[in-house]
Amino acid sequence: MIIGGFSLRSIFLSIILALLFSFINGYLSINLGMSFGFGAVAIAIAYALFHKVSGGSSRRELSIVLIASSSSMAIYNVFGFILYLIENERISLPFWMSPSMNSILNRCIDISSLIPPILFFSIGTLITCI
């Protein structure tokens, strides 16, 4: 299904690649202080996948995958900033932005405290991808 050049397969692939690239760059940024641009990789994956599965792709679909999968790069910077703020004991962040300070200090973070931040940033990523 194509709506104004947006196909469901390009949006779906963009979201998957955005999440994957965010996790990779987030890990590299936190641990090594560096990150990579995955634009060429996103185009190669989209081109190969679209041609294997459905026999072709358009420039518009490949452009959508490139732009949307690259737009998630801000999310790991936000996570890094939140981790930095959490280390300061005088700052309290809302529950929808980070797990509680007690759970972080006790190193016992339950899944229910992670759901609001994950949903908040996932919705933010989806909005920037579309």
Q: Which of 48, 71, 44 is nearest to 125 (CA)?
A: 71
Q: What percent of the chain has pLDDT over 70?
A: 78
pLDDT given for residue 116 in this prediction: 81
**Main-chain phi, psi angles of 2, to 5 degrees:** -120, 125
| Domain boundaries of the chain, sorted by first residue | 2-129
pLDDT given for residue 2 in this prediction: 60
Average pLDDT over residues 113-130: 73
pLDDT given for residue 109 in this prediction: 66
Q: What is the largest CA-CA distance in the chain?
A: 57
pLDDT given for residue 5 in this prediction: 61
Average pLDDT over residues 20-38: 77
| 62 has a pLDDT exceeding 80 | yes
The gap between the terminal CA atoms of the chain, to the nearest Å, is: 15
CA dist 130 to 59, 88, 90, 94, 105, Å?
17, 35, 37, 26, 37
Residue 33 CB partners (closer than 8 Å, separation 6+): none
Q: Which residues pair with 2 in a beta bridge?
A: 7
| 9 has a pLDDT exceeding 80 | yes
Rounded to two decimals, the pTM is 0.58
| 59 has a pLDDT exceeding 60 | yes
Average pLDDT over residues 4-26: 80
